[in-house]
Chains A and B, each alone.
Chain A
């Protein structure tokens, strides 16, 4: 079955540290890839997405992710985190089937950034 693995459930960083959150998926066909973020008390928001083209995708708030097809990975990065990046981050993969995109989520990574 298709699955998405996020390697770290909890990450604690100091401000200005670099961030990399791992995401691997198991599906071997054509996939679309997403990172969503959920700030405390807010909606689940789209951070960035990859459909095709340049495997390095830039999203909002200085985040980027790199799709490495050979590694089935879509890791999220930010060179310098801020306290306001404290949130839960979800990687997701879609597979188009039956007329809609079935979205499979990872378990999420809780990021805490300390001033």
Chain B
């Protein structure tokens, strides 16, 4: 069966520091991968998605970037964190099933920027 991992689970970082959040998927090949941010009372907002190694699409302009160095690895980064980057970050994966795709979510990383 497929599993998705995220780390760290929680992170407290000062403003202006760099960020690297990692997501890995096991048990599947060539998944679509997604980064979301969950804000209280606002649901989940898609930040980035990737359909393959090195292929990243951004949904919203922001202080963050994403990379996919390996098939089942997805990294969310920032060179300099802002206070507004605080939030709960979720990684998700889906198989290549066309328009009947279903996304499955990881446990998330809670980021606090001070």
Contacts and interface: CB of A to CB of B under 8 A. Distances in A.
Interface in A36-52: 36, 42-46, 49, 51
B53 to A, nearest CB: 15
Contacts of B42: 107
B114 interface: no
Nearest to B33: A100
A96 B108 contact: no
A44 B90 contact: yes
Contacts of B100: 32, 51
Interface stretch (B16-24, B43-51, B66-74): B43-51
Interface residues of A, number: 26
Contacts of B102: 34, 46, 49
Contact of B43 (A90, A94, A100): A90
Contacts of A99: 51
A31 to B, nearest CB: 10
Main secondary structure of the interface of A (DSSP, over half): strand
A90 B92 CA distance: 15
Nearest to B42: A107
Interface residues of B, number: 24
Contact of B41 (A9, A100, A102): A9
Interface string B21-43: 00000000000101000000111
Given A43-B107, A108-B41, A102 B99 contact: no
B108 A100 contact: no
A100 B44 contact: no
Given A9-B41, A49-B102, A43 B108 contact: yes
